[in-house]
Amino acid sequence: MRMTMVRRTSTSVTSRQLEVLAFLARREHWLVGEVASALGVSSAAATKAIARLERKGLVTRSVDMMDRRCVNVRITRAGNDAIRHIAKSV
């Protein structure tokens, strides 16, 4: 499988990461397990992709205060901007 890299200034996003961002943009927040299930990947694979996006400032993660085993993921303004920028260039 060939990975496509999309460049946005200093941030590059793989096609899988773009898929995660597009999914996250659908509502305010998601659980990591929901992301994994919707994309058909393991929780470990989703966590890895989300961690990379977090390092790039495109998503944030936070522990659910009601259930500390759950991690909420939110797309940032920069993440939404990246989706819009990529959509314009396609």
Nearest to 59 by CA among 44, 48, 70, 68: 48
Could you tell me if residue 51 is left (phi over 0), alpha (psi between -120 and 50 degrees) or otherwise beta?
A: alpha
Give, rounded to a whole angstrom, the gap between the first and last alpha carbons of the chain: 20
pLDDT at 62: 94
Where the chain has pLDDT below 50, the residues are 1-10
pLDDT at 1: 39
User: Which domains are assigned to the chain?
Assistant: 15-79 (1.10.10.10)
pTM of the model: 0.81
pLDDT at 4: 43
pLDDT at 5: 44
Measured CA to CA, the distance from residue 45 to residue 43 in angstroms comes to: 5
